[in-house]
Amino acid sequence: MPTTVDRIIRTDYSEIMQKNYIDYAMSVIVSRALPDVRDGLKPVQRRVLYDMWELGTKSDRPYRKCARIVGDTMGKYHPHGDSSIYDALVVMSQDFKKGRVLVDGHGNFGSIEGDGAAAMRYTEARLEKFTEDVFLSDLDQNIIDFLPNFDETEKEPSVLPARLPNILINGSEGIAVGMATSIPPHNIGEVIDAVIAMIQDSEIDDDGLLQYIKGPDFPVGGIVVNKDDIPAIYKKGSGKLRIRGKAEIEKGKGGRSSIVITEIPYTMIGAGIGKFMSDVAALAESRQAPEISDISNQSSKEGVRIVIDLKKGADAEQILQLLYKKTRLEDTFGVNMLVVSNGRPETMSLRQIVEAGVDFQFEIADRKYENLLASEMERKEVQEGLIKATDVIDLIIEILRGSKNRKMATECLVYGKTEGINFKTAKSRKQASALMFTERQANAILDMRLVKLIGLEIEALMKDHDETLKKIAFYQDLLENHDSMAKQLIKELRKMKTDYAVPRRTSIENAEEIVLEEKKIEEEEVVFCLDRFGYAKVLDLSVYEKNKETVETENRTVIRIMNTDKICLFTNKGKMHAVKVLDIPQKRLRDKGVPIDNLSNYSSGEEDILYIGALAEISAAELLFVTKKGMVKRTPGSEFVSSVRTIQSTKLQEDDELLLIGRSDVNEFAVLNSTDGYFLRFALTEVPELKKTAVGVRGMLLGEEDSIQAAYLLESSRELTIDYRGGKLSLNRLKLAKRGTKGTKSRR
C-alpha cells in the first residue's frame, strides 16, 4: 500500500509575520482608513452614499430611518459593525465638520460642543441635492467600474463619479497602520476655480493654483495666521497651520469689558470647547489672569458665542493675548495630504490632487459620452429605419399580412427573403426582395404602432432624427477634440459653482507670533494648607492670622511661604514632587481645596508623603533620609533645586522604601527603632553628607528578618517621649551609641 508522507515546509517565522502584517496594513490603509483621491471618500462613506442612492432616499423623497440605512449598508457592503457606519453617516451630516455636508440629517446629529448623535433608531436621513448632483448624477451611465461585495452577492462601485475634488472641499482625517491623513476643508468656489484653471492650463503649478485656493476654509471660520507658510505646506503636502479663534472686545457698563469669541479654531470642535473653558477658569484661579471674573458659553443654533467677563479696569487686549498663548484659542492643525492613488498611499501636493481630479473628470466624461454616443447611434439607426419604412409602408403591411410568423416577416425585411409570403403581385414580391433593413430597424418596424403613420407623427420623427444627428455630432466632437471636452467640463463646473458656492468663512492672514510679556508677580507671603484628605489650598496671610487655631486644627500641614516659591513633597518611594504656589488655587477660609494629586505628579494611591516644605527653606537646609532597611544619609537642600516637576530625592535599594525625611541641620540626634524591639540613638554628625544619587550608609545593624519600624529626630534641649508597648519611653534618655551598631533592646 502507498504510504502518505507529510511535507514539512520550513520557513523563517519573521518572514511570515512580515508578510501577514504588510497584508493587514495595506488592507487597513486602502480599505478602511484613507480616502481615495478621486472622490475623496473612505470606503465606508462611499458605501453609505451608494446604499442611500439604491434605497431611493433622494433629496426630494421622505427621510428614512438611519437604522435601516446602516443595516442595509452593513448587510450588503460593509461588514465591519454598525457603529463605524453610523459614525460615518453622522459626520457626513455635520455642517461644523464638513465644508459641504453630503447627508441631510433629521433629528439629533450631535453638536459643535461634542454632544453625540442620538441612537440610529431615532434619527433619519436622506441624500443632499449636492450629493446627487456631484457624486451620483451619472452613476447609471456605466462610467465607473463595479466590484463584487464581500460575499460576491452584490456589486458596489469602486469609486463614485465625483465631479469635484471632494478631498479638498470636505477634507479628511484618518489613522491607518503606520500613517495618518489630515486634510483641511476648502472653499468649494475656490476649488472649482482651481480645477477650471488647470483644465485651461495643464502646466499650472502650485503657486498658480494658490491664486485661486487661498488656503483652508474651515466650516467654523476662524483665522489662519501663518499665511506665508501656506505655499510650502501645499507644495510638500504636509506642514503645520496656525489657527486662531475670532474674538471681539465688547465694552460694558462701569468700565467693565468682555471678550466675546464668535469663531473657534477647527481643532476645538467637540470636547475642546469644554477644555477651553476649564483652561480659562484655571488661569483665573491660578492668578495668571486674575482680571477674569466669569466665563459663559452662550452658543446657540445661530453660532458660537463664548463670553469672558473681565473685572473693572482690566486690559482686555492683554488678556486676549494670554488666551491665545495659554489656551487652544490658538492651535496647530497638522496637514498631511495622504491619499490613496492608484491603489497605493501617497502624500500629494495641491497640484497633484487637483491634477488627479481633472484626469478623473476627463476619464468619466469620456466614458459617459462614449455611452451616450453609442445610445444615440442606436436611436439614429432606428429612426432612419422608421423613416425609410414610412416610404414603403404599403409594402410592409403587405409583407406582414402575407407572413405566417414574425420570424418570416423579419427575414424578409432584413435579408429580402420572400419564400412562403403571400404577395398580391409579383411586383410587390420583387420590391420586397430588395429590402435591406437592419435587425434593430426591422424589430422597431414590427413593433411600430399604426398611429405613427399619422402625418404629424412622421414630422415629429423627422424632427427627433435631426436632434439625434446634432447630438451625435456634439458627442463626436467632444470625444475627438480635447478642447471641446474641456469647454464642456468648464461649463458644467461653472454651473455647479453658481448652484453651490458659498462665501469664504476662514480668514487668511499673517500675524506675528504671540510674545507674551509675563506680568511681574507681586511677591507676598501666603499660607499653604493641606488637609487630612489631601486637599490643598492657599490662604491670604491676614485670613490665617485671624483664624490661626482653626486653620492649624483642620489641616495636617500649614506652611507660611512666599507666593513665588514652590512646595516640595517628599514621598516614601524616593521622589520629590514640586508644585508652584501660584498653581495652587487661593481660597477663602471655608472653601474646599483641590486634590494635591491634580496639582502635581504625586499619586496618593501609589506613594505616601513623608515631608513637605518650602523650596526656599529646604534649599538652605539639610535633610536626613532613613529607610526601612536601616540606610541613612544627610543631603544638602541645594540638591533639590530643579526646574523639573518630579525628581528622585534619593536612591533606594531593591524592596526598600523611605521611612523618615527630616531636617538634620536643626536636630542633633536620630533614634531608630526596629521591629525586634531594638533602639539606637546616635549623633547626626556620624551620618555622612551624601548627594541625592547615593543610597546612604548603614544606620543600624539589623537581624536577618528585622527592619526599621520607626525613626525620630531629637534636640538635646527638648525631651521627646513616645508611647511604646503600653508605657512611656523617653528617647532622650536612651544610651548614646555609635551609628551602625545594634543598639539596645527595650525591656518593655
Among candidate residues 144, 115, 121, the one with its CA nearest the CA of residue 53: 144
Strands (E) located in 501-548 = 507-508, 525-530, 535-540
Cβ contacts of 219 within 8 Å, gap of 6 or more: 95, 96, 97, 98, 99, 185, 266, 505
In the chain, the amino acid numbered 73 is T
Distance CA 746, CA 733 (A): 12
DSSP symbol at 339: E
H-state helical runs in 223-336 = 230-236, 271-285, 316-326
Catalytic residue, chosen from 24, 50, 86, 122, is: 122
List 669's β-bridge partners, or say none.
683, 714
List, as one string, the DSSP characters of 574-642.
SEEEEEEGGGSPB--TTS--EEHHHHSS--TTT--EEEEEEHHHHHTSEEEEEETT-EEEEEEGGGG--
Instruction: Give the distance, in angstroms, between the CA of residue 690 and the centroid of all CA atoms in the same chain.
Output: 51
Among candidate residues 399, 353, 424, 304, the one with its CA nearest the CA of residue 169: 353
Task: State the residue for C-alpha cell 433629496.
Answer: 59
Three-class DSSP labels, 269-294: CCHHHHHHHHHHHHHHHCCCCCCEEE
Distance CA 152, CA 706 (A): 74
In the chain, the amino acid numbered 642 is S
List, as one string, the DSSP characters of 653-707.
-TT--EEEEEESSS--EEEEEETTSEEEEEEGGGSPB--TT---EE-S---TT--
Question: Is 122 marked active-site?
Answer: yes
Distance CA 526, CA 532 (A): 20
Q: Is the dihedral of CA 14, 20, 25, 30 positive or negative?
A: positive
Distance CA 107, CA 94 (A): 12
DSSP symbol at 520: P
The catalytic residues are: 122
